Amino acid sequence: MRKQGYQPLRVKKYIFRDLLFHTFYTLVSAATLGPIIWIFMLSFKTKKEFATNPLSLPRSFFLGNYINAFTDSLLTTFFMNSIIVTSIALALILIISTLAGYSLARIKFSSSRILFMIFVMLDGLPIYILIIPLYVMLNFLKLDNYLWGLIFTYVAMRTGVSIIIMRGFFRSIPSYLEDAAKIDGCNLLQSLWYIMLPIVRPGLTVAAIMNFIFVWNEYYLATILLSKMTLFTVPPGLSCSFMGRYTTNWPAMAAGFTLTIIPTFLVFIFLQDKIIKGWSTIDK
């Protein structure tokens, strides 16, 4: 009798737990996707429709906002600046973090642990307390108001967390693979290139995607370190192009925002299996 009475209670407990989890995940998904869907629908409205009812569906899918975005020379310049900054910064971050992560994981020297802890602590510093000395330093080096100054800043900010990721991947590789490469005549760089890098490819993918999303969407530093509008990347460029002193063209800004999230969306669509594989490897 106990077993017969216990089983329904246990089943009800699991049903209630699953219902609670599904409700929570549904609310989180709605809170995350709701604003994105609203911005996407807003991009097909006219300014008059938006002023009449901002939350309503578009009466007719107005494509003028996207046409203006594609024909706007300034917006094209913003996209080109973002592509240049993101590609160069990403390449430098991956090269530096790979070499540093390999050195900290596989080469034994006295200060390796101290150096690694410095990277961990510096990665936790908020950028807001560093912005004034950073601006003074870039001004002294004559790199303020240049894309190279913004690129070097992104590299300095994101190298620490990338080194932490790559060090973890390199430490998970058995040492006998490296010993076998040395017996076959490989030097340190050849062992890294031919043996280690193919194995830590999931780590490179994770680091590349994380840094791509950060650099592509970064707004605060790009606004402070760049004052010329022709040098702006996409995030500050959108805010300056469609925001006036007394009015803001929200539908046109929504169209520009929709175009900016397409690269990030495509990255997740085509590389989601590699992302999952890379994070699962980090957990191990």
Candidates 197, 202, 166; CA nearest to 181 is 197
Domain span at 270: 64-283
Query: Is 36 in the same domain as 123?
Result: no
* 123 vs 90, residue with greater confidence: 90
HSE (side-chain half, CA atoms, 13 Å) at 74: 14
Query: Is 180 in the same domain as 212?
Result: yes
Query: Is 217 in the same domain as 97?
Result: yes
Count of the separate structural domains present in the chain: 2
Residue carrying the six token digits 């990338």: 162
Query: Is 72 in the same domain as 30?
Result: no
Query: Is 37 in the same domain as 139?
Result: no
SS3 category, 115: helix
Query: Is 130 in the same domain as 198?
Result: yes
Q: How confident is the model at residue 147 (pLDDT cuts 50, 70, 90)?
A: very high
Residue carrying the six token digits 């190279």: 148
Query: Is 26 in the same domain as 146?
Result: no
SS3 category, 243: strand
Q: Is residue 136 part of a domain?
A: yes
Structure-token pair, residue 239: 């805010």
- Look at residue 283 in the predicted model and tell me its pLDDT: 47
pLDDT tens per residue across span 39-85 = 888 888 888 888 888 888 888 788 888 887 777 778 888 989 999 99
Q: Is residue 56 part of a domain?
A: no
Q: How far apart are CA 231 and CA 237, in angstroms?
A: 9
Q: Is residue 275 part of a domain?
A: yes
Residue 117 has pLDDT above 70, yes or no: yes
Structure-token pair, residue 284: 């191990």
Query: Is 87 in the same domain as 35?
Result: no
Q: Is residue 47 part of a domain?
A: no
Structure-token pair, residue 188: 């340190």
- Look at residue 245 in the predicted model and tell me its pLDDT: 62
DSSP symbol at 248: B
- Look at residue 268 in the predicted model and tell me its pLDDT: 76
Q: Is residue 59 part of a domain?
A: no
User: Tell me, what CATH number does 151's domain have?
Assistant: 1.10.3720.10
Give whole-number Cα distances, 183 to 120, 173, 179, in Å.
35, 17, 6
- Look at residue 1 in the predicted model and tell me its pLDDT: 46
Q: The whole model's pTM is what?
A: 0.81
Query: Is 6 in the same domain as 86?
Result: no
- Look at residue 153 in the predicted model and tell me its pLDDT: 92
Q: Is residue 72 part of a domain?
A: yes
Q: How confident is the model at residue 21 (pLDDT cuts 50, 70, 90)?
A: confident
Q: Is residue 83 part of a domain?
A: yes
pLDDT tens per residue across span 190-210 = 888 888 888 888 888 888 988
Query: Is 160 in the same domain as 28?
Result: no
Structure-token pair, residue 17: 């737990």
